[in-house]
Chains A and B, each alone.
Chain A
């Protein structure tokens, strides 16, 4: 069932502050214990372990800061009328039935609009489909710059409307999309309006469900908080732009992370953005591990690129909130590095019998519990701002999947640092049902090493002190967290919930 988030009442706000305050105090409590106790041992290892642990804690603090500003905006119909164009792209190899459904859904949008299909393959069948549905087919087979290049070409030569919806071909819009959103453009400072990206193939597989779950919080409390800060970001798959805004930054950015760069430039140019928690479109989420990793690799590489090469250029034009936000967004995928450390440090410590810290286990637990409880409480509490009842559940799937994506993020970081060109490819929409053990080779290595490290400690240590027990616990936890995704990579039949082609 769809949920329509209400504006915060006094009771909501008090509870929100209580949850955030509890978590914040928990961080102080653990941080004081961690950094000011006598338990430090080896300084280098201590620094590495501190980074690994406090990376996650920093992200929690950022989330809580964002939640502080949660502002669910209502849908809003416009007082005046706008000219509206809808742009969607086609690439060779994408399945034809998808276009039949998407274009039909677009044409059912009640608000008067023109629709352009920007065809990179200049496909005859698509041409005929467009003719039948009243969609304008634009031959983009010789246009450089992937999706954004085609969009800019169309904006320059074909489309002249005030409002532009850029939508991916797998995303089906709802008929009342513009009736729910255009009102926000009546504020002349608003450069773009973003709506929820829902997925209709969530039930297809474990990966699809987990990958979708990773976005529930984002298209809920996070974006609502960013909206309250005036800095909600544009998402390439379904964003509604004001044409003047796009023109002011010389069109849609051409980049691996084109949507993020476009919103950066728009915010740098002083445009405000609005997020409406309305499930305006429904699309596909990667359903097999291969496409999910590919998508995440693309995004992480793109975000590191932006951080290293674009963020410094725009820095002086950002306001303070944008400066902070894009720094945090650009470093988001550093969690791959943090996860790498949390995976390998216990192994290292157990085999070499070195220690970064030596706490009594019970004291460590006592000091960590308030923070963990704060995270859990805030996770559960902010679920009231999710946009669908089916999203309100324990998010273990996304945790497991995110943990298992660490190697992809690390590759993304390396690509970003080395400036190795990564060719832009649309995220594959098809599903691969082959066993892909190569995708999880690093995981198998980590699982094997962790298990041997635990066995090594059990068999050779004279005494299992608290530090050792803690590291054995971490190693065991890592095995448990990596196992599900490793399992479905090797035995894909456990991934799929629906027979092939059923979704």
Chain B
């Protein structure tokens, strides 16, 4: 008759014995080989990605992101205009909320949006530093002490493979931020930090990631990592109005002109990565409308994108609450939506210019 039953038992035991090394050793090897050959080859080269010439991208950040696209849809419906960029914020750390937001990015990509992630190197969310920002945090990063985290992001960015705007360590002279000068970080350390982060992404083959550098003050050139390492220069434009220290209402053109003149000759194209106004001491709807008019009149030809900071919760330097959202003043969005000519400059198309 057939083979003896004990051969079947022996065969099953042999398979069990083989299973362990096969999955524990073999599977990582196969996955690594797949990543190195296939996944990396599928990454989109994003260098030079920009709006078609003469056009600008319009984007926004909203509190619903990244969990939901609802806020973006609502804004698009009000403006009667599709957005090109969806912007949200991620802090560094060990928890799940600090991981690379793969699903969100895939949803955004499916929706036709270019994601902009402001990536904040807070070290206090790593278990190692137990909730405290260590002094000289940029040096710690540059020495490679959180490279596992950086590499995980870089590899996930490769897996994502589609163009992505990444803004690590924005506003490096803003005293609120743990990577700023206030925490004992020097411009030299900042540049080394930037070069190190970028080198990890380059080494993993994340050609799809575009690095956005954003100054805080008007004299932050010393913190600029160099045109070779920066794809976009971002400008954050805020009018605190009556809540500012001087209590003066400043229009979009005035603020932007100062930044523009400081940074337009660095090399990379410019993008307004955050723009919002208070309603204290002036008219929010007018400020916003004038912003669009100013861009429409091509006052700043090197600025190729505008990302609205449509967030209700903000703070002044003195800790006073400030509502940056468009809807704080009723009718702001609707009046924009009623004037399509304000958007003639804007597109959600993507092209390449070298």
Asked whether A25 and B18 contact (CB < 8 A) given A32-B23, A465-B103, A466-B103, the answer is yes
B287 → chain A closest CB, angstroms: 32
Interface residues of A, dominant DSSP? helix
**What residues on A are CB-neighbors of B23 within 8 Å?**
28-29, 32
Asked whether A71 and B15 contact (CB < 8 A) given A65-B8, A462-B70, A465-B103, the answer is no
* A-B contacts, 25 listed (Cβ < 8 Å): A17-B11, A20-B11, A21-B11, A21-B15, A24-B15, A25-B15, A25-B18, A25-B19, A25-B22, A28-B16, A28-B19, A29-B19, A29-B23, A68-B11, A70-B2, A227-B2, A228-B1, A228-B3, A229-B5, A462-B68, A462-B70, A463-B67, A463-B69, A463-B107, A465-B103
**What residues on B are CB-neighbors of A32 within 8 Å?**
23
Does B12 interact with chain A (Cβ within 8 Å)? yes
**What residues on A are CB-neighbors of B12 within 8 Å?**
24
Asked whether A68 and B68 contact (CB < 8 A) given A29-B23, A229-B2, A465-B103, the answer is no
Q: Which of B3, B19, B67, B102 contacts A68 (CB 8 A)?
A: B3
Q: Which of A17, A68, A71 contacts B1 (CB 8 A)?
A: A71
Q: Is there an interface contact between A321 and B5, defined as CB atoms closer than 8 Å? A: yes
**What residues on B are CB-neighbors of A28 within 8 Å?**
15-16, 19, 23
Does A69 interact with chain B (Cβ within 8 Å)? yes
Interface residues of B, dominant DSSP? helix
**What residues on A are CB-neighbors of B22 within 8 Å?**
25
Q: Is there an interface contact between B11 and A69, defined as CB atoms closer than 8 Å? A: no
**What residues on B are CB-neighbors of A462 within 8 Å?**
68-70
Q: In the complex, A229 Cα to B8 Cα: how many Å?
A: 11
Chain A interface (Cβ < 8 Å from any Cβ of B): 17, 20-21, 24-25, 28-29, 32, 65, 68-71, 225, 227-230, 321, 360, 462-463, 465-466
Q: In the complex, A20 Cα to B5 Cα: how many Å?
A: 15
Q: Is there an interface contact between B107 and A69, defined as CB atoms closer than 8 Å? A: no
Q: Which of A29, A228, A360, A466 contacts B2 (CB 8 A)?
A: A228
**What residues on B are CB-neighbors of A69 within 8 Å?**
2-3, 8
Considering the complex, give the chain B residue whose CB is closest to the CB of A73: B1
**What residues on A are CB-neighbors of B103 within 8 Å?**
465-466
Interface centre among B7, B11, B16 (most CB of A within 10 A): B11
**What residues on B are CB-neighbors of A228 within 8 Å?**
1-3
8 closest A-B pairs by beta carbon, nearest first, are A228-B2, A69-B2, A71-B2, A68-B8, A28-B19, A24-B15, A462-B68, A21-B15
Q: In the complex, A360 Cα to B160 Cα: how many Å?
A: 13
Q: When each residue 3-34 of chain B gets 1 if its CB lies under 8 Å from chain A and 0 otherwise, what string results?
A: 10101100110011011001100000000000
A455 → chain B closest CB, angstroms: 19
Q: When each residue 89-110 of chain B gets 1 if its CB lies under 8 Å from chain A and 0 otherwise, what string results?
A: 0000000000000110001000
**What residues on A are CB-neighbors of B68 within 8 Å?**
462-463
Interface centre among A68, A70, A466 (most CB of B within 10 A): A68
State the total of A-B contacts with C-beta under 8 angstroms.
51
**What residues on A are CB-neighbors of B3 within 8 Å?**
68-69, 228
Interface centre among B8, B18, B107 (most CB of A within 10 A): B8
**What residues on A are CB-neighbors of B107 within 8 Å?**
463
Q: When each residue 28-72 of chain B gets 1 if its CB lies under 8 Å from chain A and 0 otherwise, what string results?
A: 000000000000000000000000000000000000000111100
A63 → chain B closest CB, angstroms: 13
A41 → chain B closest CB, angstroms: 15
Q: In the complex, A68 Cα to B5 Cα: how many Å?
A: 9
Considering the complex, give the chain A residue whose CB is closest to the CB of B18: A25
**What residues on B are CB-neighbors of A229 within 8 Å?**
1-2, 5
Q: In the complex, A463 Cα to B71 Cα: how many Å?
A: 13
Given pairs A68-B2, A68-B3, 10 additional interface contacts (CB within 8 A): A24-B15, A28-B15, A28-B19, A29-B23, A69-B8, A228-B1, A229-B1, A230-B2, A462-B69, A462-B70
Asked whether A227 and B1 contact (CB < 8 A) given A24-B12, A465-B103, the answer is yes
Q: Which of B1, B8, B15 contacts A230 (CB 8 A)?
A: B1
**What residues on A are CB-neighbors of B2 within 8 Å?**
68-71, 225, 227-230
Q: In the complex, A71 Cα to B8 Cα: how many Å?
A: 14
Considering the complex, give the chain B residue whose CB is closest to the CB of A366: B31
Q: In the complex, A225 Cα to B18 Cα: how many Å?
A: 25
Considering the complex, give the chain B residue whose CB is closest to the CB of A228: B2
Considering the complex, give the chain B residue whose CB is closest to the CB of A465: B103
B273 → chain A closest CB, angstroms: 25
**What residues on A are CB-neighbors of B18 within 8 Å?**
25
Enumerate B253-277 residues with CB–CB distance to A below 8 Å.
Answer: none
Interface centre among B2, B11, B15, B22 (most CB of A within 10 A): B2
Q: In the complex, A228 Cα to B15 Cα: how many Å?
A: 22
Q: In the complex, A463 Cα to B68 Cα: how many Å?
A: 7
Considering the complex, give the chain B residue whose CB is closest to the CB of A225: B2
Q: In the complex, A46 Cα to B105 Cα: how many Å?
A: 28
B34 → chain A closest CB, angstroms: 10
Q: In the complex, A321 Cα to B19 Cα: how many Å?
A: 27
Considering the complex, give the chain A residue whose CB is closest to the CB of B4: A69
Q: In the complex, A20 Cα to B15 Cα: how many Å?
A: 10
Considering the complex, give the chain A residue whose CB is closest to the CB of B70: A462
Q: In the complex, A275 Cα to B172 Cα: how many Å?
A: 82
Q: In the complex, A70 Cα to B23 Cα: how many Å?
A: 29
**What residues on B are CB-neighbors of A17 within 8 Å?**
11
Q: In the complex, A240 Cα to B12 Cα: how many Å?
A: 35
B95 → chain A closest CB, angstroms: 14
A323 → chain B closest CB, angstroms: 13
**What residues on A are CB-neighbors of B8 within 8 Å?**
65, 68-69
**What residues on B are CB-neighbors of A21 within 8 Å?**
11, 15
A439 → chain B closest CB, angstroms: 41
**What residues on B are CB-neighbors of A230 within 8 Å?**
1-2
Considering the complex, give the chain A residue whose CB is closest to the CB of B31: A366
A189 → chain B closest CB, angstroms: 11
B101 → chain A closest CB, angstroms: 12
**What residues on B are CB-neighbors of A360 within 8 Å?**
102
**What residues on A are CB-neighbors of B7 within 8 Å?**
68
Q: In the complex, A28 Cα to B19 Cα: how many Å?
A: 8
Q: In the complex, A48 Cα to B15 Cα: how many Å?
A: 28
Q: In the complex, A20 Cα to B8 Cα: how many Å?
A: 11
